[in-house]
Amino acid sequence: MEDVIIYSLTIEDIQTVANEEIGRDLSSEEIEKILEPIAEKINWYDAIADSINEEDSINKEEEIE
């Protein structure tokens, strides 16, 4: 289970946003330039920690009832 991908972004996702934001597809070169900045902006640690803590809160609420 360690190799299961939980969430991924595709080039199609990038192109969808590009079309909504600037009205056109990005070129391969433009996509290449933004891949690293996208990865740097994704705060995966906080997303995981928040989800764990939310689930923990749910479990505590169930124990109280």
pLDDT digits (tens, 9 = 90+) for 21-30: 999 999 999 9
* Percent of the chain's residues with pLDDT above 90: 82
The answer to whether residue 6 sits within a structural domain is no
Range of the domain at 38: 11-64
CA distance 55 to 61: 10
Count of structural domains, the chain: 1
Distance of alpha carbon 42 from alpha carbon 36, whole angstroms:
10
Structure tokens at 29: 């070169």
Taking the complete model, does pTM exceed 0.75, yes or no? no
Q: Is residue 3 part of a domain?
A: no
Q: How big is the CA angle at 50 (ends 31 and 35), to the nearest 5 degrees? A: 10
Pinpoint the alpha helices (H) of the chain. 11-22, 28-41, 44-64
